Structure 1
Amino acid sequence: MESVWGCILLGALLSQAAALRCYSCDGDRSCQEMEDCGEQQGQCRTTALTMISRSGVSDRIQKGCDVQGKPNNSISFVSHGQIVMLAEEHCATDLCNQGVPKALSSFPSNASLDCLSCSSSDHSCSSPSLMRIRCLDPREQCVDITAISMPDEFPQDERRIKGCGQISRCQEPLGFHNQDSFYLLQCCNSSLCNNDAHDYQESPLPLNGVTCFACEGNSSHGCTPENITRLQCQGPMTHCMEAVGSHALRGPGAMLKGCATPAWCDAPYTSIYKRLAGVQARCCQGNFCNSRIQAGALPPARRSRAGRRLGAQPALLYGAALLALLVLLPRSS
C-alpha cells in the first residue's frame, strides 16, 4: 500500500514539475511575476495595447497562461481621435513571454498599405467618409471585423472595426452565424480595399441555399432537442458546423451549432469568440449534417472537416488574439 501511495505522490510531483511556467502581470512592462499554468494550458500569452494621441502614448501589457491553439494576431485602427494598436502573441516554453509582441515594433513605412479605419465606439463606421491609417508593418493587411451577438457578449459599441492587422488564416473570409451570433472577419491586400459598407445587422447577407441545425448552450439549456432550430445560412457561410467544449459558465459539454465559412472551420476562432476550452469542432457539407454531437461529445467521423482539438482549462479570455480586442479594448479604455 505504501508503494502505491508513493507512486501516486511521485506522479503528482512530476506532473507539477512539468507544468508550463509563464510571466504573469497586468499593466506593467517590467513584468517579473510568474505563474504555473493549469494542466492543459499549453501556451504563454502576451497581450499589448498601445494608444497614441496628441497628448502622448499609453501602454498596457498583460501576460499569463493561456489555452492551446490561439494564433498570433494584431490590429490597429483609429477611434476617438487616437490610434489604437493591439497585439497578442503566444509561445510554448517556460517563461518565453518575456518581451512585448513583435507586431508593435517599428517597421519602414515605405512597404505598407493605407487602409480605411473606423470603430463603432465613436460611431465612425457609420460615417460616409472614413479615416485612413498607414499600416506600420509590411506584413499587415487591411481588415474589416464584425462581431454581433444576442445577448451581447461584446459591448454594442465594438461591433465593427476597420484598420490594419495581421489575422491568422484570413486569406478567405472567416465567418460564423447562428440564431444568436454573427461574426465576419475579412482581409485584403491593396490600399483602401476594406471599403465594405454593408450593415450586416440591419441587412443580413443573401441566403445561400444551405440549411443547418443551430443552437448555443448545453444539453440541458440552449441545445436541448426542443431548442435546436433549423437555420438558413447566409453569404459565404456554406458549411454546417458543430463544436463541443468546456465553458466557464456552462461547464463541460457546452455546444455550438450553426453555419460557417470553410476558412472558419480550420481556424481557432470558435475558441476565441465563444470562450470554449478543449474544443472539438467539425464542419460538413449538406443540409442538417451537423448532428453528430451525442451526450456532450463529438464522435469521430470518417468524412468530415475536423477542427484541431484545443486542450484547455475553462478561462476568461481577456483578449485572445485580435478579435479579442473586442473584449480587451472596452476594459482598458
Structure 2
Amino acid sequence: MKLVTIALTCALISKAYPLDCFECVATGTGPCSQTTKTCQGNQTKCASFTAAFTEGGIQNTTKVKTCAIPAQCISGSFNTGISMTTVQTQCCESNLCNSQEPPALPESSTNGKKCFTCAADDNCTSTLECKGSEDRCFMVTLPAVGMVKGCVSQSLCSGSLIAAAIGDCCEGNLCNNALRIGQSILFLLLVPLASFFLFN
C-alpha cells in the first residue's frame, strides 16, 4: 500500500512542474534547429507537426515543434480544389519527447463526399470531390481573395489550431452553398499556422 501511495504522490508532484519541449520551425527540406521551451500551465503536451501546402503539383512543407494544448493535437486536411493543405500532428506528455518529425500526410483517394468550390468560377457553384478524412464542407470570405469553399476534415473544424480560421463547417454533400462570412487568412498560409502554434 505504501508503494502505491508513493507512486501516486510522485505522479501528482511531477504533473505540478512545467513541461519542457523542443521548439523550432523549419520550411522546405531544411533541418529543424531545436531549442528548448518551458510550457505554460495549460500546455500539457509537447507537439511536433508537419503542414504541407500543395498547389499546381508543387508541395511546400513547414515543420514545427513546440508546446501545445490538447485541442491542438489534430491531423487532417482542407482542400479548395486549387490547393490542399494537410496537417499531421504528434503529441506526447513527457519532457523533450517531441524530438521526432511526423511525415506529411500521404495523398488520399476520393471518399464520395462532395462540396462546392470556387476554383473554376466566381459564383462558387463548381463541385469538388473530397479526399481522405475530409468529411465536412467549409466556406470563408478572405480579404483580397473573396469567397473560398471546399472540403475539410472534421478535426480541423473543431480543433483550436485552425477552427478560428475556417469560417463555417457543415455536414452533408454540397452543404456549403450559403454565403457566410469568415474573418481570417490563416488557413491559406503555412507560416502563420506555425506562428499560431508557437505564440499561443
TM-score, normalised via structure 1 length: 0.39
Are 2:63 and 2:101, in contact at CA under 8 Å, matched by a contact in 1?
Answer: no
Q: Does 2:30 align with 1:119?
A: no
Aligned to 1:144: 49
Quick one: distance in 2 between partners of 1:324 and 1:118?
7
- The C-alpha deviation readout for 1:222-266, integer Å capped at 9, x for no partner, is 4335xx4332222332111122x3523x4xxx2111111224334
Specify which of 83, 107, 110 is matched with residue 204 of structure 1.
Answer: 107
Aligned to 2:9: none
Q: Percent identity?
A: 18
- 1:128-139 correspondence runs (5 A): 133-137=35-39, 139=43
- Point out where structure 2 has 5 or more consecutive residues left out of the alignment: 1-16
2-structure distance, mates of 1:150, 1:212? 19
Larger Rg: 1
CA distance in 2 between partners of 1:324 and 1:134 (Å): 16
Q: What TM-score results when the alignment is normalised by the length of structure 2?
A: 0.60
- Structure 1's unaligned 5+ residue stretches are 1-108, 271-280, 299-306, 327-333
Q: CA deviation at 1:167?
A: 7.0
- Larger relative contact order, structure 1 or 2 (CA cutoff 8 Å, min sep 6): 2
1:118/1:124 contact within 8 Å kept:
no
Q: How many residues align?
A: 167
Structure 2 CA distance for aligned equivalents of residues 207 and 137 of structure 1: 39
Q: Name the structure 1 match of 2:3.
A: none
Q: Distance in 1 between matches of 2:91 and 2:168?
A: 27
Alpha-carbon distance in structure 2 between the residues aligned to 1:167 and 1:180: 31
The separation in 2 between residues aligned to 1:235 and 1:246, in whole angstroms, is 25
| Cα RMSD for the two superposed structures | 4.2
Alignment of 1:62-211 (within 5 A): 111-114=19-22, 119-121=26-28, 123-124=29-30, 133-137=35-39, 139=43, 141-150=46-55, 159-166=61-68, 169-173=71-75, 175-185=77-87, 186-190=89-93, 191-192=97-98, 195-198=101-104, 200=105, 203-211=106-114
Contact (CA 8 Å) 1:142, 1:193: kept in 2 or not?
A: no
- The verdict on how the C-alpha distance between 1:197 and 1:145 changes in structure 2, with shifts beyond 3 A counting, is closer
Task: Tell me which of 290, 314, 320 is aligned to 2:176.
Answer: 290
- CA shift, 1:165, in A, is 4.1
Is structure 2 residue 134 aligned with structure 1 residue 237? yes
Q: Give the residue type in structure 1 aligned to 2:127.
A: R
One-letter amino acid of the structure 2 residue matched with residue 231 of structure 1: L
| Deviations 1:124-164, CA, capped at 9 Å, x for gaps | 36xxxx77654432625313141415379xxx896321311
Q: Out of 164, 169, 181, which is 1:268 matched to?
A: 164
Q: Which stretches of structure 1, 4 residues or more, deviate above 4 A after TM superposition?
A: 130-133, 319-322
